[in-house]
Amino acid sequence: YPNIGRVATDKEVAAWDIDVRPDFKGLPKGSGSVTKGMEVWESKCASCHGTFGESNEVFTPIVGGTTKEDVKAGKVAALTDNKQPQRTTLMKVPTVSTLWDYINRAMPWTAPKSLTTEEVYAVTAYILNMAEVLPDDFVLSNENMAEVQKRMPNRNGMTTNHGMWALKGKADVQSVACMKDCKGETKIRSELPDSARNVHGDLSQQNRSFGPVRGVDTSKPPST
C-alpha cells in the first residue's frame, strides 16, 4: 500500500507499549515497597476504594475474602462455599501482572497513567499486603514478581477448558429443540418482585404512546 502509514519510532512504541503479560513481558525495571505503597494508597486510592480496599462505594471491594490457606492452595475457597457476600478483586485475579498492568494504565480513575513506575510497584505491593499475601516489609520489584505470582490466592482458579474461545469450540450446554407436546415442567419458577416493578421508572414513559402495545404504568400495582 504505497504511501500509507510509516514505521513507528522506538520512542513512539515505548510511549504506548505499556502492557504487561502474565510472563512479565513488558514489565519495566523498578521496585516499590509496601510502606511507600501505603502512602500512595491513602493519598490516591483510599478515597474511592476504602482505607482497607474494602469499600463498595464506587466499585466492588478490591481486598477481602482471601485467606492464608488460599495463598497456599492458589485457589480461593470462598469462591466455592460462597460465604463472602461479594467477590472481591483479589478473590478472582489469578495473575499479579494483571494488577500491575491495570493500575499502571488506568488508576487512579480520574488521573489514569499518572503514577510513576515505583508507585505502581508500591501500591500493588500494598494491596497484596492488605490481603496478607505479602509481608509489611516487602519490596516488590521486577526481579521478584515471579515469586509473588506463586503466592496469588487464586492463581489456580482459572480454566480454559471450554468451547467459548475457539471459533469452532464445542458448546457446553446441549439443548434439544422439541416442537410438540414437549415434556418436562413448564412452571413459572420466578416472577418479578413487586419491589422491582417501578425501580427503572414508569414504563408507560418508556414505550410509544401508539402502536401494538402501550407501556405499563408501573407506578401503580398490577391490575390482577
Partner 1 sequence: GSALAQAAASAATDGDVNILTLPEHSTTLGKPVAANPYGVPSRFETNLLRRESPGLTRVNAASVSFTPLQGLFGIITPSGLHFERHHQGWHDIDPGRHRFMVNGLVKNPKVYTMDDLMRLPSVSRIHFIECGANTAMEWGNVAVPAVQYSHGMLSCSEFTGVPLSVLLDDCGYDRKAAKFILAEGADGSGMTRTIAIEHALDDVIVAWGMNGEMLRPENGYPLRLVVPGVQGVSWVKWLRRIEVGDKPYATKDEAIHYIDAMPNGSYRQYTSIQECKSVITTPSAGQRLLDKGFYNITGLAWSGRGKIKRVDVSVDGGKNWRAARLETPVLSKCLTRFNIDWVWDGSPVVMQSRAVDESGYVQPKINELRAVRGTKSIYHNNAIQSWKLDVSGEVSNVQVY
Binding site for Ca ion (CB under 5 A): 3, 17, 19, 26, 50
Cα pseudo-dihedral 87, 91, 96, 100, rounded to 10: 30
Measure Cα distances from 142 to 33, 67, 97, 122, 216 in Å: 12, 25, 10, 12, 59
Q: Which does 56 bind (CB under 5 to 8 A by kind): ligand HEC, Ca ion, partner 1, none?
A: partner 1
Q: Which does 123 bind (CB under 5 to 8 A by kind): Ca ion, partner 1, ligand HEC, none?
A: ligand HEC
Q: Which does 87 bind (CB under 5 to 8 A by kind): ligand HEC, Ca ion, partner 1, none?
A: partner 1
Which residues here bind ligand HEC, judged by CB under 6 A? 40, 44-45, 47-49, 58-59, 62, 89, 99, 102-103, 107-110, 115, 123
The smaller minimum CB distance to partner 1, of residues 136 and 192, is found at 192
Cα–Cα distance measured from residue 28 to residue 35, given in angstroms and rounded to the nearest whole number: 20
Cis (ω within 30 of 0) for the bond into 108?
Answer: yes
Residue 176 contacts residue 189 (beta carbons within 8 Å): no
The smaller minimum CB distance to ligand HEC, of residues 27 and 115, is found at 115
What's the closest the beta carbon of residue 125 comes to ligand HEC, in angstroms?
11
The smaller minimum CB distance to ligand HEC, of residues 110 and 223, is found at 110
Q: Which does 134 bind (CB under 5 to 8 A by kind): Ca ion, partner 1, ligand HEC, none?
A: none
Residue 101 contacts residue 19 (beta carbons within 8 Å): yes
What's the closest the beta carbon of residue 89 comes to ligand HEC, in angstroms?
3
Beta bridge partner(s), residue 139: 33
Q: Determine how many CB atoms are found less than 10 A away from the CB of residue 224.
A: 3
The smaller minimum CB distance to ligand HEC, of residues 59 and 69, is found at 59
**Chain centroid to CA 14:** 26
Q: Which does 74 bind (CB under 5 to 8 A by kind): partner 1, ligand HEC, Ca ion, none?
A: none
